[in-house]
Amino acid sequence: MTVVAAALFVCLGTPCAITGATVHVGDGTVLTEATVLVENGRIAAVGSAVAVPEGTAVIDGRGRHLTPGLIESRSQVGLSEVGLEPLASDDSAEGLTITPAFDVADGYNPFSVWIPITREEGVTAHVVAPRGGLIAGIARFAWLTGDLDGAPDRSRPLALFADVTSGVSEDPRFGGARGMLWLTLREVFRDARFLRRHGRDYDRGASRKLALDPVHLEALYPVLDGKVPFVVRADRVSDILAAIAFARREGIRLVLSGAREGWRVAERIAAAKVPVILNPAEQRPTTFDAVAARDDNPALLDRAGVRLILSAGDWSHNIRRLRQVAGIAVSYGLPHERAIEAVTSAPAEVFGVEGTGRVAPGYRADLVLWSGDPLELSTVAEHVFIGGVERPMDNRQRRLVQRYLDRRPGGAAEAAAGAEAERGGASAAR
């Protein structure tokens, strides 16, 4: 076998193995001193007694931790380059409030400068989500490869995202009242069902007027069929319960996003079998929707049996902090391996993305080898694999640092040492 210390290589054509690592499978299981064998972009074997074939490239994982690649579930990476510059943001249809057919794939940039920055922190895939308005539009799944292979999957919509918080209800078009949000949603879903039954009559002009253009109503069909979830942002208890009641009445799959007051009705959320996406760093009473927010909300929801997904989302520049917010949840009582699961296998399963999110035979080799506990800030990702291909640990920010280090007196050797020191310091600060 060939031992590889730090060189970049590809596990696509020839087998490679990571040996002696602590493996966090992604389902709550932890394996010590385990070997993971990768062949043809997939995990071929996992365990403490895996035979490594002759000629296999080997990474020494002793003293290190291996996890599945992290998955962010509310991402605008690839849609927003500069948050406060409208010309550099394609994450919402500004000025429009109900746009179910708005598709993030049409504005996604797979070469975004934020992709390698995010990937360097162990995030290998994301749910690219629209934002803004009552129904924001269609979300897609994408790998953070930084090339055309990372374009969003257009084979099927992943989810529809919506928002019923006070920031939407205060829109004058809804009369400034939450009740109008739910009335509008009921009208839109009713019209989508009507159009499906009477589409030909509508085309002939022999039908009643509809709330939306057919292209938007047709985008709701996968939700009505239960093929994709309806992700609803709701923080206040009353909004959470209204969303659960709406989903039950419409017969659709619901995923709650936010749920900062969710701990108050954790048992009811669990009984409804509704997953929750939340950011542990946002559990503060910053709005009237979240007066009862508390830091241990993730732990209380998990204790009640709610399927949790942890997110650093809402701003594309923060997605790289996914493992940091998972660590925050652990500090307030969420079990460590539940936090790992909530950023790996849980989002993959809730959104129906098969074959990723676990370190298990047959799964894609989306893997991250960490220098230590992945939820510790001082830990860095040493190797990141997407589909069995190791990805470079380089980004525009680092190249800018290097550009000016190279100009310092002392030559390339001093510049290289300075760059390495910068990398270690930046990783610890994160």
Average pLDDT, the chain: 90
Name every residue whose Cβ is closer than 8 Å to that of residue 280 and which is 6 or more positions away in sequence: 295, 297, 298, 310, 325, 326, 328, 329, 332, 334
pLDDT beyond 60 at 427: no
Please check whether the two domains, 1-69+357-394 and 70-355, share a CATH topology: no
Arithmetic mean of pLDDT, 214-224: 97
Contact 59, 43 (CB under 8 A): no
pLDDT in tens, 81-135: 887 777 767 777 777 899 999 999 999 999 999 999 999 999 999 999 999 889 9
Q: How many other C-beta atoms can be found within 10 angstroms of the C-beta atom of residue 349? A: 18
Arithmetic mean of pLDDT, 384-407: 89
Res. 419 pLDDT band, cuts 50 70 90: low
DSSP states of 271-336 as a string? HTT--EEE-GGG-S--SGGGTT--TTHHHHHHHHT--EEE---SSGGGGGGHHHHHHHHHHTT--H
Q: In the chain, what is the greatest distance between 2 CA atoms, to the nearest angstrom? A: 80
Q: Where are the domains of the chain?
A: 1-69+357-394, 70-355, 397-430
pLDDT in tens, 402-415: 888 888 776 555 55
Arithmetic mean of pLDDT, 209-213: 90
Residue with tokens 């269609």: 138
Extract the tokens encoding 139.
């979300």
pLDDT in tens, 340-371: 999 999 999 999 999 999 999 999 999 999 99
Q: What is the pTM of this model?
A: 0.90
Least confident range of 8-17, 224-233, 399-408 = 8-17
pLDDT beyond 80 at 421: no
Rounded Cα gap, residues 132 and 117, in angstroms: 25
* pLDDT value of position 6: 40
pLDDT in tens, 301-315: 999 999 999 999 866
Higher local confidence (pLDDT), 177 or 214 = 214
Res. 245 pLDDT band, cuts 50 70 90: very high
* pLDDT value of position 377: 94
* pLDDT value of position 399: 86
* pLDDT value of position 430: 43
* pLDDT value of position 172: 73
Q: Which candidate, 146, 143, 150, places its Cα nearest to that of 123?
A: 143
H or E segment and range at residue 385: strand 381-386
* pLDDT value of position 72: 98
* pLDDT value of position 429: 44
* pLDDT value of position 170: 72
Rounded Cα gap, residues 192 and 100, in angstroms: 11
Radius of gyration of the chain measured on its C-alpha atoms: 23
Bridge partner list, 332: none
* pLDDT value of position 395: 86
* pLDDT value of position 5: 42
* pLDDT value of position 124: 98
* pLDDT value of position 412: 55
* pLDDT value of position 209: 86
Q: Where on the phi/psi map is residue 175: left (φ > 0), alpha (ψ -120 to 50), or beta?
A: left
CATH of domain 1-69+357-394: 2.30.40.10
* pLDDT value of position 317: 81
Instruction: Calculate helix-pair angle for 411-429, 396-405, nearest 10 degrees.
Output: 140
Is 70-355 a CATH 3.20.20.140 domain?
yes
- Phi, psi (degrees; rounded to nearest 5) at 278: -150, 160
